[in-house]
Amino acid sequence: MKKILEVRGLSRIHGPGCPLCFENTGAEAETNVCVSCGSVVAAQNVSLDLHQGEILGIVGESGSGKSTVVKTLFFDAEPSAGEARFFDGDQQLDLFSLNAARQRWLRNHRFGMVYQNPNLGLNFNVSAGGNIAERLLMSDVANYASIRQRARDLLTRTEVLGERMDESPRRFSGGMQQRVQIAKALATRPPLLLLDEVTTGLDLSVQARILDLILEIQHELNTAMIVVTHDLGVIRLLAGRTLVMKYGQVIESGLTDQVLEDPQHAYTQRLVASAL
């Protein structure tokens, strides 16, 4: 399998930052806040690889930096340090050194993001179909009829009723809003999909169907995904490999079944032991 993404030394510091920030924070220090300068270290030296068609899980409690990682990769947040290389066909793109226009182009064409909060991923002032049309327009599909057909196909694929495509997603249930977000993210058939706590807060039956949908998509389109969650069940179901984060650092990584059955780090052992 071909490598699609390579992240090295990704860090993000909120605040002035100082030479002691990394030393003062992290899993050992058990804090995100640097005592020397008061900066918050959201992510520290995160490195990861992602191959085509692979689902990588990132687990950790809130504040562990797991969302920060995907946000910087989707250009929602700027990294303080580090590199990310995206391999697209024969091209090799250094994500953080691209100009804003190129970054926007990648977001619209080659990456997809599904947020925990549908407010972030969807425009509630336009219809569900309009949300998808927006993304298709940005990626240069301009024919009205074909946009509408494609939007309908995508919504049908993600099990949103076609009859409701002209309604605002504001009126949809939480599970349906997530489906619209997934349909929107998939509109351009991106090779990379980022999923940030997509099933958190949904009831169990809805969760199960969304997770099944994600697996089907992986199977059909061979999309590479990074799945961020605090739910070990989601990781067990979706991810082949898993990173465990705490206070901004990756403290452990491995095959998902190994991380869950033979966790090495004290924190991961506690995490696994607290699973229901």
Residues that bind other proteins (CB under 8 A): 1, 51, 208, 212, 219, 237, 240-241, 254-255, 257-258, 261-262, 264-266, 269-270, 273
Residues 6+ apart with CB under 8 A from 26: 41, 44, 246, 247, 248, 249
Instruction: Check: CB of residue 171 under 8 Å from CB of residue 126.
Output: no
Instruction: Check: CB of residue 17 under 8 Å from CB of residue 25.
Output: no
User: What is the closest distance, in whole angstroms, from the C-beta atom of residue 167 to other proteins in the complex?
Assistant: 29
18 by DSSP, 3-state: which? Answer: coil
Q: How far apart are CA 162 and CA 254, in angstroms?
A: 41
Question: Which amino acid, 50?
Answer: L
**Residue 193: strand pairing partners:** 112, 225
User: What is the closest distance, in whole angstroms, from the C-beta atom of residue 6 to other proteins in the complex?
Assistant: 13
Instruction: Check: CB of residue 249 under 8 Å from CB of residue 48.
Output: no
**Cβ nearer to other proteins, comparing 166 with 212:** 212
**Cα within 13 Å of Cα(239), Cβ side:** 31
Place of tokens 């030479």: 19
**Cβ nearer to other proteins, comparing 99 with 274:** 274
User: What is the closest distance, in whole angstroms, from the C-beta atom of residue 94 to other proteins in the complex?
Assistant: 23
User: What is the closest distance, in whole angstroms, from the C-beta atom of residue 266 to other proteins in the complex?
Assistant: 3
**Cβ nearer to other proteins, comparing 29 with 37:** 29
User: What is the closest distance, in whole angstroms, from the C-beta atom of residue 269 to other proteins in the complex?
Assistant: 6
**Cβ nearer to other proteins, comparing 138 with 272:** 272
Q: φ and ψ at 127, to 5 degrees?
A: -70, 170
User: What is the closest distance, in whole angstroms, from the C-beta atom of residue 240 to other proteins in the complex?
Assistant: 6
**Cβ nearer to other proteins, comparing 13 with 260:** 260
Q: Which two tokens stand for residue 111?
A: 């990456």
Instruction: Check: CB of residue 78 under 8 Å from CB of residue 10.
Output: no
Q: How far apart are CA 118 and CA 103, in angstroms?
A: 22
**Cβ nearer to other proteins, comparing 136 with 251:** 251
**Cβ nearer to other proteins, comparing 143 with 264:** 264
User: What is the closest distance, in whole angstroms, from the C-beta atom of residue 31 to other proteins in the complex?
Assistant: 19
C-alpha R_g of the chain: 19
